[in-house]
């Protein structure tokens, strides 16, 4: 149809110049000799790569024919010649929006007015049911009268129609302008164009793309899906507050949080124009940025630590233990002051038989219930006391940092136990008061009432705050509950315990401790098994709670665990506010807030609350929480002294030891990690500790030991694809490619069909290991904003990108992990060999000289941990 030597004819139109080229065709300037006007003609390229191009250009013609608006380029005619097709459109004597901004230096009022025009054009298209899907500055033309016109509806569609025309591209749109839902290939409506409008407006008003100018398209899309944009006020302090808020609203990740339609945006821009009209003179845009968008994204620290233990399991376990020991059993006004009281954990030697241990658990349950419900007393979490069992009383008093100690003891024979209660002043260790009673070994529910009677006599000045909730379990069911509670740390049998608790709920749905214990076990099982169905099971369990106990702290604590795990910020904040009203101990409240903010990556807020908790009561639990927040933010060296202090107070503190071991591993000291975890004993290691032990062997190139270790981990957690992927890496390092492929295929089969971010990330790694680059990248894009931006996720993404050959994206994620404190030793493994051999990583090697040096950070003795 066309020849590049002008002039030539397309139909009756005389072509005089070439205006430009796009993804599907070339645009020419021509003259309509019949109507004596200039037109623009869009022709298909001679050898289009897309077999659907003719259908698409016909679709564009049909869509444009429905639209007649001064802010949309009009269509005049369609010219067909055999298989050739051309659109004859309105010629706009002007330039693109980008060029207009550069050449005209527009005022703020002019830019806002132009944006308002674009909104009017969008509103007309959306009113006809048409979404553009590729709204960007290059597709906005501005004529000599400063009139904006939307063009290039090549991938536009009616949002209620299902079309195959864009299936060749999988995801339609330009990478830098698409909405999160476009990037995730989700159903679209008009609000996807409003997000693109936000990107366009942000660039116009702030001079930068809100998601930076990284050269990798995948990095930009990852930011669009997962990362917030820098506040517009930082890039352009001259913007009115209302305009900055409008940009934030347009750029919301969730379509439901954006404006409903373009006409509403136009109306708001009109209001802003009226405000600007009151300014003296024309306000110009200085663009005095306090930060660049690219620097903002490069420095983000939303999540910080690599190990899964810190990704939530440890946080949830510690937070749950605090709730278990500190929540009230009824509603009350918060007590802002009081004496801390701790229960001294009885030594195991006191409880020789199964019956006596069950009775002991019954007594402890009654004591915790009673002490958490007395005026003027603040109960220290029993989880702290339990770790000190058997130590000298003076050491326990110092570690627990309480004002009073309650020392229960049981002296049992075959039929009965003498139960003694001593109230002790923690400073002098003098006994203030004591009570004793005889309990039959087989007593269950009756023993609780007997213990509560003794407590009333022991603590007459501290009256109960409220009436306790009815105890509605039968003796047999209560014994079952006590057995589950006693063995709650037995990870291998957690599925069985969850079944038992569900059966108990059927019998006694108002027995509130069931909810607290079920939540603790379910969340731990979720992290250990990687099975997303566990959290759904927890949701169903909570939903079955009777309305009369919905405000009980045990039920609230279960809901809080679930909300924090799901990163449901609004729900978690609501539950925390509820707990603020009923938690008498402000230290515990700030502890829970610290854990919540840390899990969501709000590290400044997490540290502030951890410090408030430590100010109110300096305990090793609060020290570990602060160390966790520091570690998550990449400040592992600052966390180390806190962990050492916690271990000095309680050398058996598995939380402190686990975190210290994980930090040493991330810092490139695997020998220290091995020493710390070996000291604990393999039989005492939790799943995440065993995982770190395996990784330490792997980094030390002890491949046989690492492989056996991961094999043991697979037996414990058969649904964990990651152990299989590391076994594949080990097999590759041992020159066993077939074995490696088998493990990668098993890993892919393990997570097949999963749509959560962890499952998708494992699928991406498995596909990359198998050499399937396209599905690997697709899975990474689909992960969405649910995936944390921490060391672990960035490390995995870097590994996928390196393996699939996208060096720009790999380098971006590598740099982030290194900036967050991950040792270069982690990149001295086989999957990252290109880092040391490819020229594209030269700047990274320059910035991190140890990256490919082949040397390793010397392992140092961890002071205060006992060596080993």
- Give the residue numbers of the binding site for ATP: 42
Closest CA to 539 of 511, 510, 559, 514: 559
Which tokens sit at 638?
Answer: 């600052």
Residue the block writes with tokens 């591993």: 665
Edge-to-edge order in the sheet of strand 140-143:
94-96, 140-143, 148-150
Three-class SS state of 453: helix
Question: Which residues, other chains included, contact 175 with Cβ-Cβ below 8 Å and sequence gap of 6+?
Answer: 217, 220, 221
- Distance of alpha carbon 35 from the chain centroid: 60
Exposed e or buried b for every residue in 75-103, given b needs 16+ CB within 10 A? bbbbbeeeeebbbbbbbbebbbbbebbee
Say how far apart CA 171 and CA 192 lie, in whole Å. Answer: 13
Question: Which residues, other chains included, contact 826 with Cβ-Cβ below 8 Å and sequence gap of 6+?
Answer: 666, 668, 699, 795, 817, 832
- Distance of alpha carbon 118 from the chain centroid: 35
Say how far apart CA 180 and CA 453 lie, in whole Å. Answer: 60
| Whole-number CA gyration radius for the chain | 33
Q: Which residue in 134, 152, 477, 772 is the catalytic one?
A: 134
Phi then psi for 841, rounded to 5 degrees? -100, 10
Say how far apart CA 859 and CA 667 lie, in whole Å. Answer: 10
Which tokens sit at 852?
Answer: 């490919």
- Sign of the alpha-carbon torsion through 753, 754, 757, 759: negative
Say how far apart CA 584 and CA 564 lie, in whole Å. Answer: 22
Residues pairing with 799 in the sheet: none
Say how far apart CA 369 and CA 326 lie, in whole Å. Answer: 9
Which tokens sit at 5?
Answer: 């030597």
Cβ neighbours of 146 (radius 10 Å): 14
- The reply to whether 786 belongs to the active site is no
Say how far apart CA 251 and CA 245 lie, in whole Å. Answer: 10
Say how far apart CA 557 and CA 74 lie, in whole Å. Answer: 60
Query: Which parts of 566-682 fold into alpha helices (H)?
Result: 569-582, 586-599, 603-616, 620-632, 636-649, 654-666, 670-680
Report cis status (omega within 30 of 0) of the bond before 650: no
Cβ neighbours of 26 (radius 10 Å): 18
**CB of 354 closer than 8 Å to CB of 415:** no
Q: Which residues are annotated as a binding site?
A: 42
Which tokens sit at 856?
Answer: 């390793």
- Sign of the alpha-carbon torsion through 378, 383, 384, 387: positive
Say how far apart CA 317 and CA 309 lie, in whole Å. Answer: 10
DSSP-assigned letters across all residues of 414-429: SSEEEEEEEEEETTT-
Residues in the chain: 868
Say how far apart CA 51 and CA 135 lie, in whole Å. Answer: 24
Residues pairing with 158 in the sheet: 130
**CB of 603 closer than 8 Å to CB of 304:** yes
Exposed e or buried b for every residue in 651-673, given b needs 16+ CB within 10 A? bebbbbbbbbbbbbbbbbbbbbb
Helix (H) or strand (E) holding 341: strand 339-343
Say how far apart CA 6 and CA 3 lie, in whole Å. Answer: 7
Residues pairing with 100 in the sheet: none
Three-class SS state of 116: helix
Q: What angle do CA 371, 364, 688 make, to 5 degrees?
A: 105
Residues with active-site annotation: 134
């Amino acid at each position: 149809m066309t020849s590049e030597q002008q002039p030539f004819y397309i139909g009756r139109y005389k072509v005089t110049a070439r205006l430009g080229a796009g993804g599907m065709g070339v645009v020419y300037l021509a003259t309509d000799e019949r109507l004596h006007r200039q037109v623009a003609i869009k022709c298909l390229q001679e050898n289009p790569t897309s077999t659907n191009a003719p259908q698409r250009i016909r679709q564009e013609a049909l869509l444009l024919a429905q639209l007649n608006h001064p802010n949309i380029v009009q269509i005049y005619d369609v010219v067909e010649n055999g298989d050739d097709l051309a659109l004859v459109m309105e010629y706009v004597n002007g330039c693109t929006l980008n060029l207009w901004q550069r050449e005209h230096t527009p005022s703020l009022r002019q830019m806002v007015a132009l944006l308002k025009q674009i909104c009017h054009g969008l509103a007309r298209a959306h009113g006809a049911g048409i979404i553009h899907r590729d709204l960007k500055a290059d597709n906005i033309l501005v004529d000599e009268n400063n009139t904006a016109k939307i063009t290039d509806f090549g991938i536009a569609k009616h949002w209620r129609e299902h079309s195959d025309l864009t299936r060749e591209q999988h995801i339609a749109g330009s990478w830098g302008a698409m909405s999160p839902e476009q990037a995730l290939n989700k159903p679209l409506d008009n609000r996807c164009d409003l997000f693109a409008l936000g990107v366009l407006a942000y660039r116009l008003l702030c001079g930068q793309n809100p998601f930076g100018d990284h050269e990798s398209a995948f990095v930009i899309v990852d930011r669009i899906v997962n990362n917030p944009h820098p506040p517009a006020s930082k890039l352009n302090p001259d913007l009115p507050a209302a305009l900055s808020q409008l940009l934030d609203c347009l750029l919301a990740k969730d379509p439901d949080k954006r404006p409903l339609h373009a006409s509403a945006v136009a109306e708001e821009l009109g209001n802003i124009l009226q405000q600007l009209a009151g300014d003296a003179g024309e306000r110009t845009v200085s663009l005095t940025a306090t930060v660049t968008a690219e620097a903002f994204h490069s420095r983000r620290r939303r999540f910080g630590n690599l190990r899964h233990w810190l990704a939530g399991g440890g946080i949830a376990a510690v937070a749950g233990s605090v709730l278990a020991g500190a929540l009230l059993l009824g509603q009350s006004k918060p007590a802002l002051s009081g004496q801390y009281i701790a229960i001294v954990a009885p030594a195991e030697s006191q409880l020789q038989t199964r019956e006596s241990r069950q009775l002991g658990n019954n007594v402890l349950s009654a004591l915790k219930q009673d002490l958490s419900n007395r005026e003027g007393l603040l109960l220290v979490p029993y989880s702290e006391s339990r770790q000190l069992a058997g130590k000298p009383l003076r050491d326990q008093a110092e570690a627990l940092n309480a004002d009073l100690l309650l020392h229960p003891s049981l002296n049992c024979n075959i039929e009965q136990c003498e139960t003694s209660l001593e109230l002790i002043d923690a400073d002098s260790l003098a006994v203030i008061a004591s009570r004793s009673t005889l309990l039959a070994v087989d007593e269950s529910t009756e023993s609780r009432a007997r213990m509560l009677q003794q407590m009333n006599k022991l603590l007459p000045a501290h009256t109960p705050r409220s009436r306790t909730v009815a105890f509605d379990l039968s003796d047999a069911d209560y014994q079952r509950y006590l057995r589950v509670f006693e063995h709650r740390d037995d990870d291998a049998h957690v599925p069985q315990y969850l079944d038992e608790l569900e059966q108990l709920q059927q019998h006694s749905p108002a027995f509130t401790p069931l909810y607290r214990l079920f939540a603790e076990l379910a969340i731990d099982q979720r992290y250990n098994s990687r099975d997303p169905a566990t959290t759904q099971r927890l949701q169903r369990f909570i939903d079955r709670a009777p309305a009369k106990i919905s405000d009980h702290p045990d039920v609230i604590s279960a809901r809080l665990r679930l909300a924090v795990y799901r990163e449901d910020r609004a729900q978690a904040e609501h539950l925390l506010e509820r707990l603020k009203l009923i938690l008498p101990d402000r230290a515990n409240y700030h502890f829970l807030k610290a854990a919540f903010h840390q899990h969501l990556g709000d590290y400044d807020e997490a540290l502030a609350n951890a410090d408030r908790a430590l100010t109110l009561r300096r305990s090793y639990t609060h020290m570990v929480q602060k160390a966790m927040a520091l570690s998550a933010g990449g400040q592992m060296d600052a966390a180390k002294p806190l962990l050492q202090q916690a271990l000095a107070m309680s050398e058996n503190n598995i939380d402190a030891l686990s975190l210290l071991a994980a930090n040493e591993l991330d810092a490139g000291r695997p020998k220290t990690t091995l020493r710390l975890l070996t000291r604990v004993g393999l039989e005492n290691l939790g799943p995440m500790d065993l995982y770190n032990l395996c990784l330490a062997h792997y980094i030390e190139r002890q491949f046989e030991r690492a492989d056996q270790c991961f094999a043991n981990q697979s037996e414990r957690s058969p649904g964990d694809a990651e152990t299989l992927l590391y076994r594949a890496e080990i097999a590759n390092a041992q020159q066993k490619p077939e074995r490696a492929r088998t493990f990668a295929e098993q890993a892919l089969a393990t997570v097949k069909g999963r749509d959560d971010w962890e499952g998708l990330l494992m699928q991406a790694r498995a596909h990359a290991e198998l050499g399937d680059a396209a599905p690997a990248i697709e899975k990474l894009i689909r992960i969405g904003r649910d995936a944390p931006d921490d060391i672990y996720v960035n490390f995995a993404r870097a590994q996928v990108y390196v393996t699939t050959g996208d060096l720009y994206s790999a380098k971006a994620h590598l740099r982030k992990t290194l900036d967050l404190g991950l040792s270069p030793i982690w990149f001295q493994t086989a999957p990252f060999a290109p880092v040391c051999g490819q020229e594209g990583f030269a700047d990274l090697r320059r910035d991190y000289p140890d990256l490919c040096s082949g040397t390793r950070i010397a392992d140092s003795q961890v002071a205060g941990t006992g060596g080993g």
